[in-house]
Amino acid sequence: MALYSEKVMDHFRNPRNVGVIEDANAIGEVGNAKCGDIMKMYMKIEDEIIKDVKFETFGCGSAIASSSMATELIKGKPVSEAMELTNKAVAEALDGLPDYKMHCSVLAEEAIKSALDDYRSRQ
């Protein structure tokens, strides 16, 4: 079996929602102390709905694929729903990640939570 699913490879090669939102009202940044990878998430939230979300990930392929998939999963969704998104759900949506790469998907979950915490703290 291939190490990475086709979905992982697709999101790694053609990541969705890469970039910066200049007028974001929610910004989160997290890092993995072990590998040194960093993920930054920007959101534009209106009426508790995530109207737009973009990310910048300085990290491994699995982290890039995870952030890409995570942004797809929360775009257009209510804040309360995005708050519930787990790294497991992100990995499942990617048709799985190798066990030793699961921590990369944790970065995506944490980046979303960090951005949503920032949103709450601005209110």
Calculate the alpha carbon distances from 21 to 44, 87, 94 in Å: 7, 23, 25
From CA 26, how far away is CA 9, in angstroms rounded? 28
Q: How far is the CB of 14 from ligand FES (least distance, A)?
A: 19
State yes or no: is 35 an active-site residue. Answer: yes
State yes or no: is 60 an active-site residue. Answer: no
| b/e code 22-60 from CB counts within 10 Å (16+ = b) | eebbbbbebbbeeeebbbbbbbbbeeeebebbbbbbebb
Q: How far is the CB of 60 from ligand FES (least distance, A)?
A: 4
76 or 98: CB nearest ligand FES: 98
Q: How many CB atoms neighbour CB 4 within 10 A?
A: 20
Q: Of the residues 14, 35, 120, 122, which is catalytic? A: 35
> Under the rule (CB under 6 A), what is the footprint of ligand FES?
32, 35, 37, 59-60, 62-63, 104, 107
Q: How far is the CB of 64 from ligand FES (least distance, A)?
A: 9
Q: Of the residues 65, 104, 111, 115, which is catalytic? A: 104
63 or 70: CB nearest ligand FES: 63
Catalytic residues: 35, 104
